[in-house]
Structure 1
Amino acid sequence: MSRGFVKEDDQEEIPFIPPRADLPEGTPNYVTPAGMEELLAERTALTEEREGLQAETEKDRRIGQNMIDLKLKQLNERINSARVVEKVVEPVETVRFGTEVSLKIGNADRPQNFRIVGVDEADIKKGKIAFTSPLAKLLMHQEKGKKVTLALPGGERTFEILEIRA
């Protein structure tokens, strides 16, 4: 039917849902056990939100449900593709997925700690970096005492591995 014969009020825009964290094509969706629990809890929360959704009009309710449905679709795709990597046990000789690494960055006095996790659980404020990040890729399979250099737009930065923990 031509748009000329449809009332404008009947037109609903498809809501824009920002994509989840980038996972390069062909890259396995590794997650830690805690990361999988977070994904499942997120799905439960979204399902409960959808069931309890209230809106002033039927149109607002449909738009709200569509937004939640799209978020659930993206989330379910991630959950279905997830490969849970069990926690590494001590002793840890090299940096691997799920390990925490203590780094000396450049000439800094204090070390910083980072855990290498899945893309959906990455949160730099919590010291969690995605295994797909340039830093994590450089650190993977390196041993304590090793120095790696990351090329950045403003120059290079050196990271020394001080400690590796499960």
Structure 2
Amino acid sequence: MSNIPMTVAGAESLQAELKRLKSEDRPRIIQAIADAREHGDLKENAEYHAAREQQSFCEGRIQEIESKLSNAQVIDVTKIQNNGKVIFGATVTVFNTASEEEVTYRIVGDDEADIKKNLISVNSPLARGLIGKEVDDSALVNTPGGEVEYEVVKVEYL
């Protein structure tokens, strides 16, 4: 795995989740396993098997987050001089020429993407079409519904 681009907020979110998993979830699951062991026969102990399954998911998620953080290239776009170009981490206002709608998106890493919050993955077709563009540039983006033309209205490094 090479460098994974991530915003500062994305890295902080993963670190907070990792801290919660290690300091709250892991001890709670270990206690649940210990409690379930006290009930006797482990072969037919549903609480024990459920707790072990939770432990497996928790440990897997811890490993996944640690791997992502170790390979993360945290990019703080606020420390970069705004030259008007669309880059990773930029907040971009675009005008959809077909629907005549103006929408603002922030280009973020895969783990941070949430279309409901207008956070789009750097690997999405829209972000790939916008990267490198400047204000007043047009971008043709291949979408499942066909090609859509977007005009870059504003680029901010927030």
TM-score range, shorter chain: 0.7 to 0.9
Q: Take 1:153 and 1:107, find their aligned partners in 2: how far apart are those partners?
A: 15
Which amino acid in 2 is paired with 1:106?
T
Q: Does 1:113 align with 2:125?
A: no
Q: Note the alpha carbon deviations across 1:75-133, whole angstroms, 9 max, x for none.
A: 11111111111223454411011110001113334310000111111111111111111
Q: Residue 97 of structure 1: SS of its match in structure 2?
A: coil
Q: Take 2:100 and 2:6, find their aligned partners in 1: how far apart are those partners?
A: 32
Unaligned runs of 5+ in 2: 37-46
> Identity, % of aligned pairs?
29
Which amino acid in 2 is paired with 1:63?
E
Count of aligned residue pairs for this structure pair: 141
Instruction: Determine which of 134, 138, 141 is the counterpart of 1:143.
Output: 134
Q: Does 1:49 align with 2:9?
A: no
* Within-5 A mapping of 1:1-166: 26=2, 28-47=3-22, 48-53=24-29, 54=32, 56=36, 57-88=47-78, 89=80, 91-166=82-157
Q: Note the alpha carbon deviations across 1:19-78, whole angstroms, 9 max, x for none.
A: xxxxxx65x301111111001011112222121123653333222111111111111111
Which amino acid in 2 is paired with 1:45?
R
Unaligned runs of 5+ in 1: 1-24
Which amino acid in 2 is paired with 1:51?
P
Q: Take 1:117 and 1:144, find their aligned partners in 2: how far apart are those partners?
A: 19
Q: Pick the structure with more helix per residue.
A: 2
Aligned residues of 1:29 and 1:78 also touching (Cα < 8 A):
yes
Which amino acid in 1 is paired with 2:17?
E
Q: When the two structures are superposed, what TM-score results if normalisation uses the length of structure 1?
A: 0.77
Aligned residues of 1:90 and 1:165 also touching (Cα < 8 A):
no
Q: Take 1:33 and 1:153, find their aligned partners in 2: how far apart are those partners?
A: 31
Which amino acid in 2 is paired with 1:70?
G
Q: Residue 111 of structure 1: SS of its match in structure 2?
A: strand
Q: Take 1:152 and 1:134, find their aligned partners in 2: how far apart are those partners?
A: 7
Q: Take 1:106 and 1:72, find their aligned partners in 2: how far apart are those partners?
A: 44
Q: Take 1:95 and 1:29, find their aligned partners in 2: how far apart are those partners?
A: 18
Computed over aligned residues only, the root mean square deviation of the Cα atoms, in angstroms, reads 1.8
Moved more, 145-154 or 126-135: 145-154
Q: Take 1:84 and 1:68, find their aligned partners in 2: how far apart are those partners?
A: 24
